[in-house]
């Protein structure tokens, strides 16, 4: 896959003490589309710093409320459906190339605040890895299956 056709990003598997995974319902989608936090890497930004920035922007969770468990050894790719490729990123990319992080949430649910100045989620919840695949948009299902396999020893 030519990397220049994929937007550089990070993804976050945020688990609580019960090994449940954080998902947010996308605010910009009329359907019941849920996803784990993810986002782009700014020019010149370190991947690790991008992960903590996206975590704060999308969930309101500060770095002191998480512990890094594992970072993926490879990049994961996914393609957006054609009609969305034109909508996002000005049609410049086919999808995203992402480094994924597994982090444990050590705060309380009161530390979660999805009401940022540019919110991405309208609601959030904790789910089992089995339920995760039933909640997400179809074009990310293969990616999420790969992630569950990659991080299975911790989920």
Residue 33: φ, ψ to 5°: -100, 115
- The pair of structure tokens assigned to 24 is 């947010």
> Between the CA of residue 48 and those of 41, 52, 107, 131, what are the distances in Å?
10, 7, 20, 28
> Is the pLDDT at 30 greater than 70, yes or no?
no
pTM of model > 0.85: yes
Q: What's the chain's length in residues?
A: 155
| Rounded Cα–Cα distance for residues 146 and 11 (Å) | 13
Q: Read out DSSP for the chain?
A: --GGGEEEEEEEEEE-TT--EEEEEETT-SS--EE--EEEPPTT--HHHHHHHHHHHHH---GGGEEEEEE-SS-EEEEPPHHHHHHSGGG--SEEEEEEEEEEE-S-GGG-----SS--EEEEEEE-HHHHHHHB-GGGHHHHHHHHHHTGGG-
Domain 3-154, what architecture? Alpha-Beta Complex (3.90)
pLDDT tens, 31-58?
788 999 999 999 999 999 999 999 999 9
pLDDT tens, 100-151?
999 999 999 999 999 987 899 999 999 999 999 999 998 999 999 999 999 9
* Predicted pLDDT of residue 75: 97
pLDDT tens, 65-103?
999 999 999 999 999 988 888 777 788 899 999 999 999
* Predicted pLDDT of residue 3: 83
Domain limits of the chain? 3-154
| Rounded Cα–Cα distance for residues 147 and 110 (Å) | 27
- Please provide the distance, in angstroms rounded to a whole number, between the alpha carbons at the two ends of the chain: 29
> Is the pLDDT at 1 greater than 80, yes or no?
no
């Amino acid at each position: 896959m030519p990397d220049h056709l994929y937007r550089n990003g990070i993804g976050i598997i945020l688990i609580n003490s019960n090994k449940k995974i954080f998902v947010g319902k996308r605010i910009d989608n009329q359907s019941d589309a849920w996803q784990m936090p993810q986002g782009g890497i700014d020019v010149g930004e370190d991947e690790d710093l991008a992960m903590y920035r996206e975590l704060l922007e999308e969930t309101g969770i500060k770095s002191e409320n998480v512990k890094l468990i594992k970072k993926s050894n490879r990049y994961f790719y996914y393609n957006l459906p054609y009609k969305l490729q034109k909508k996002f990123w000005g049609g410049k990319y086919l999808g995203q190339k992402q480094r994924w992080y597994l982090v444990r949430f050590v705060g309380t649910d009161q530390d979660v605040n999805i009401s940022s100045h540019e919110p991405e989620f309208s609601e959030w919840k904790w789910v089992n890895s089995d339920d995760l695949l039933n909640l997400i948009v179809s074009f990310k299902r293969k990616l999420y299956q790969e992630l569950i396999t990659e991080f299975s020893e911790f989920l």
